Each structure stands twice: as structure tokens, then as C-alpha cells.
Structure 1
């Protein structure tokens, strides 16, 4: 599955402005891997305070973008939507930040499923600008379905 646009992302993820941190999916292989894109613009609300005169994307939001990509992968793998499920970030391990992300950058987020334990999905994620690694982390996600 390729080229999932923001309209489809909003059908799957419950996140809304200003907290949607992925713009499109360029590749998705159910239960295996996803590649998502986040276009970084000066219009992002967080740049007002982080940092005035030197806009820098907070590392925690890069991790959140990875978590949203992971949630998208899990939801698509289980055929879930924003109407019948909520993804929760259950854990972050080994987070490392290697490069500053600034307005004008295109963040490519790559997340792969490492393991599934019951309702917990464990994934490895990375975020790059071009070929430069910006951040990496291990993520745990739990999906709560509406019953």
C-alpha cells in the first residue's frame, strides 16, 4: 500500500490540529513497516516558543511523529479507524537525537514492527532529514478498541 494522504490518515488516527505530526504515508506493509513524511514549516505552533529566533522542532515531537506512524501501521494492520480505536504510546526506549530539525526540512519517518505481545506492539523507529539521521527510538504502542 502506498501514498496514503492526510484525508485517510485523519480517518485512522484520532489526532487533530495542531497535533497531527504526519502528512502522508509513502509506504505501508501491514504488520511490518511504514514510511511517513512530515513537512516542517515555520507555521508550526511549537516554533513560537522553541526557540524564538532559532526555530527547532522539539525532540519529543519527533518521537511523537514516530509514534503516530507506528499507530497508523498498527491500525491499518488491524483494519481499525479513529471511530473504533485509540492508539496509546505505552513506552519509549533508547531515544537518541542526532540532528536538529528546522523549518524547511522534510522528515522521513521509518517504523518497523519488532514484536507483538498481546495488545502491545513494539517497534523500532527512525526519523531522517535526507540521509541524515535526526532521531531514533524503540516504541511500544497499545491500541484500545471501543467495545
Structure 2
């Protein structure tokens, strides 16, 4: 089973930026063990949430043609803890995209307070090479994780359609002034 550390994308700009949220609840087993009596989200799982947000951003920029794997985390700074009842906001900016991989800057917030600041490097693996190493299962872009992105895109289209209707557009065309 693969754990998903994103509940919802709230903003997604292809090849540029993604914002996602994760609501922390006591229904999540890892919070019962880390730490008993003081349920704190492990820093490694916050990084994983940022990596999933960034991995989708990187993968989508390449049309999901290759597997995107976390290669390294050159920098990770934490400024506090997240507990059950908190909502994490992940913000990831794509800073470098190349054929061999990508780099993202990620920040996790509790409200407006910066909780974590990380740099994540991803590697691209073509499907042939990835299958040799990991087998044919798509462990990176699971249906569940891609479903989170699909929902965000549908919500974005709905917002754009609402804006167009508010501006008086019909089927993508500007309103026609009545003739006298």
C-alpha cells in the first residue's frame, strides 16, 4: 500500500507551481506512535507530502512520460511541529526542469507560519530503465494520487467557467450587444 500525504490540490499551475493541503487527524495511525500522548506529524512525512506535491508537478510538466523518483534532499529546515487538528499547506515551485531530472523548492505552512523549507531533487527514469529497476508497477503516479490532481484540474475549470459566466461569456464567446 502507498500512503498519500496530500488531501487536495488548491492551486496547480502546470510546470510552475502547486499548492496542496493535508489535514492531520487522529484517524491516522502514525500520529498515535509519534509521540504517544503528543501526536506530532513526523518531519519525514512532511517531506514526503512536499515530494508528492512536487513529483506530480514535475511529472505533469513532462506529460507523465517518465517515472519521477526522489533522488535527494539537499536541504531541509524545520521551524516547528504539526499536530493532530492542524492543516498543512504545501507550496512547491519548480525551479529547474531538465531531461535527466528536476529541482523543486518546497515550503510547508501552518496557516501563515512557515513550518518547513526544503529543496528536493528528482530523477527521470524512462519506462524501460524504471521497469528494470522497479518492475512494471507504477509506484510513483498511482491512480489515487493522480485522482487528487484530476480533481484539482476539474475544480480549476469550474472556477474558470464561473468567471467566464460572470463576465457574460457564453461558450467561450463575449456577449453580443443588443441591436437597437
Q: Could you give the per-residue CA deviations for residues 74-123 of structure 1, whole angstroms, max 9, x where no partner exists? A: 1221222xxx6543111102200112100111110000011123221001
Correspondence 1:74 to 2:58: yes
Computing the radius of gyration from Cα coordinates, the structure with the larger value is 2
Q: Could you give the per-residue CA deviations for residues 17-41 of structure 1, whole angstroms, max 9, x where no partner exists? A: 5x10001111111111110111111
5+ residue gaps, structure 2: 129-180
Structure 1 or 2: more strand by fraction: 1
Correspondence 1:133 to 2:114: yes
User: What is the aligned-residue RMSD (CA, Å)?
Assistant: 1.5
Q: 2:30 maps to which residue?
A: 46
1:47-62 correspondence to structure 2 within 5 Å: 47-62=31-46
Q: 1:29 maps to which residue?
A: 13
Q: 1:111 maps to which residue?
A: 92
TM-score by length of 2: 0.67
Mapped to 1, the partners of 2:18 and 2:44 lie a distance apart of 20
Does the aligned pair in 1 maintain the 2:19–2:89 contact within 8 Å?
Answer: yes
Structure 1 or 2: more helix by fraction: 2
Instruction: State the Cα distance separating 1:48 from its structure 2 match.
Output: 2.2
5+ residue gaps, structure 1: 1-15
